[in-house]
Amino acid sequence: MASEPVIPFHDNASRESRDLLNHHLDFIQSRCKLAIQCQAAGSRTLPGIDLENESLELFNLVIDRIRKNDYAVIRRFDRRARFTTYLTTLIARQAVERIRRRKGRTRTRERAESLGRLGIRLFEKIVSQGLGVPDALREMMHESLPGMTEQRLTQMANHILGQRSMPPTVIISMGEMPDCPEPSGVTPESAAFEKERQARITAAVSLLRSRLSGTEWLLLRLRFPPDPRSPARKASEIASLMGISRKAVYRRLDRLLPHCRTILRKAGIDFCDLFSQPQGNSFDGVRPNQGSIES
C-alpha cells in the first residue's frame, strides 16, 4: 500500500495543505458515503434517505470545514495517528453534528444564549462547527474577547453541554463509524422551534430563488428535487439534460453550494435544514417561474 504524503509545515503550507486535501478527496468521499450508510442503517430518524444526495452534502460540509481558516484543520494535525484516521474522525464528528442540527438541539442553544455573546460564539464552535472543546477554547482565547478567561470559557462550555466536562467523544477506527443519535421526542419547545424554523426556511427559499439564475436554480432542483418522493438526478443525468459534461456538473455544484450556504447563513438557516428536512421538503409550495428557467 502506498505511503501517505508527508504532512507539510512549511512557509507555503497553504498550497501544500490544498494539495494534501486534493490527494485525499476520493478517501473523504468514500468515508462520507460510509457515514451516511451507517446512519441510515442504524437509525429510525432518517426515513427515505437518499444516499447520493446526503453523501454529497456531507462531503461539501467536510471540505468547507477543512478549508476554513486557511486549512487550520490540517495545520492542527499532530501526527499521533495516521492522517486518514484523523480525517475519518473529522468526518464522523461532522456527520453526527449534522444530524444534531437537523433535530434541533434547542436546549443546548438556549443555554448558550443565556450566557450572552460569548456563549453563542462558543456554541457555534462546539456544536455548529463540530470542534472539540479544547480546540474551541483555544480558538476563543486567540480572539481576545473582553472579559474572557480560560476558566470562564471552560465553565461556559460545561454549562452549554449540560454540565458535562467534554462532549461525547467520537472513537472510531479506520472501518467504523458512530451510531446516529436518536431524537429525544417532540416537546412544546421543539414544536415551537420547528414552526419558527419552517418560517425561516420558506423565506430563505424565496430569497435563494431570487438570487440564483435560471440555470443555477434548475441545477439545484435536479440535484435536490422539491418532491421528497422523487429521486435525485444522478450527475450523468443532469449532464445530459443540461448539455454539459458530468465533470462540469460537479464543478458547478462545487461553486453553487457554498454560494447557497452563504445566502442561507445570512438568513439564519442551516443548509442541512433546507435540503434534508425530517418533515416534508423545504421547496414545497415554492415553484419557480417556468419561463425563467434557462435552457
pLDDT in tens, the chain (295 residues): 344 444 444 445 678 888 888 899 999 998 898 888 877 665 544 444 567 788 888 899 899 889 888 888 888 888 878 888 889 888 888 887 777 666 555 567 777 877 777 788 888 887 766 677 787 888 887 776 655 677 878 888 888 777 543 333 332 333 334 444 434 444 554 566 566 666 766 777 777 888 888 888 888 888 876 655 567 778 888 888 888 888 888 888 888 888 887 877 776 665 555 544 333 333 333 333 333 222 2
The reply to whether 20 and 98 lie within a common domain is yes
135-to-13, 50, 76, 125 alpha-carbon distances in Å: 20, 33, 9, 9
Do residue 72 and residue 135 come from a single domain?
A: no
Long-range Cβ contacts of 143-150 (<8 Å, 24+ apart): 145/117, 145/118, 145/121, 147/118, 148/118
Q: What distance in Å separates the CA atoms of residue 114 and residue 233, rounded to the nearest whole number?
A: 44
Same domain, 58 and 96: yes
Residues 5 and 91 in one domain: yes
Contact (Cβ atoms closer than 8 angstroms) between residue 260 and residue 271: yes
pLDDT, position 28: 93
Integer Cα distance of 166 and 132 in angstroms: 8
Identify the pLDDT of residue 101.
67
Q: Which residue do the cell numbers 468514500 mark?
A: 30
Given 87, 103, 119, the domain boundary residue is 103
The number of folded domains in the chain is: 3
For residue 276, tell me if it sits in a domain. Answer: yes
Range of the domain at 73: 1-103
Cα–Cα distance, 244 to 249 (Å, whole number) = 7
Residue 59 · residue 95 · CB < 8 Å: no
Same domain, 94 and 109: no
Q: Flag whether 68 is in a domain.
A: yes
Buried/exposed code over 213-234 (b: 16+ C-beta within 10 A; e: otherwise): eeebbbbbbbbbbbebeeebbe
Q: Does residue 179 form part of some domain? A: no
